[in-house]
């Protein structure tokens, strides 16, 4: 089974806006969500942190650390990243909620249409039943005694 990206699950749905129908912010949120909500992005961030710590811990030949232990600059970068992370998550979540709302609206409209069709079908079935009974009574006499011949 081919692995589907998250946007491929709803991109082709006729009632979910996509492409040129989206605002620039919505397209950016989709790209951000597709990029940052991955194991690859997590691995890159962890590799960056590990590389930073290793490169600043072991200096050959008594060289100078650009961010000596306790890695003040790394802590500053991670604090800024954490501060922005809540906004990134909120933006991505808002876009996900928009997609879910569009799908829910479409599902509700379909359900309403199907309910109306079902009611019409039920009315037609009852009318056919009534007409069939009338035809049956007309064609087949009801328990009348047989006529003497």
Task: Return the pLDDT at 62.
Answer: 61
Q: Whole-model pTM? A: 0.48
Q: Give the containing element (helix H, strand E) for 42.
A: helix 39-57
Task: Return the pLDDT at 13.
Answer: 62
**98: CB partners within 8 A, 6+ apart:** 26
Higher pLDDT, 23 or 114: 114
Task: Return the pLDDT at 1.
Answer: 41
Task: Return the pLDDT at 145.
Answer: 59
Give 44-88 pLDDT, tens digit per residue: 888 988 887 777 776 665 666 777 667 788 888 888 888 888 777
**16: CB partners within 8 A, 6+ apart:** 10, 99, 102, 103, 106
């Amino acid at each position: 089974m081919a692995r589907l990206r998250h946007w491929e699950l709803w991109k082709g749905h006729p009632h979910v806006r996509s492409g040129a129908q989206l605002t620039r912010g919505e397209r950016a949120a989709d790209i951000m969500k597709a990029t940052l909500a991955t194991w690859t992005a997590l691995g890159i961030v962890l590799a960056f942190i590990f590389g930073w710590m290793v490169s600043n811990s072991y200096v050959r030949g008594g060289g100078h650390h650009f961010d000596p232990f306790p890695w003040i600059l790394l802590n500053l970068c991670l604090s800024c990243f954490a501060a922005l992370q809540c906004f990134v998550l909120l933006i991505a979540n808002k876009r996900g909620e928009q997609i879910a709302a569009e799908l829910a609206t479409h599902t509700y409209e379909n359900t309403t249409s199907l309910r109306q069709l079902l009611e019409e079908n039920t009315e037609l079935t009852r009318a056919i039943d009534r007409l069939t009974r009338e035809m049956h009574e007309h064609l087949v006499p009801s328990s009348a005694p047989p006529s003497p011949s």
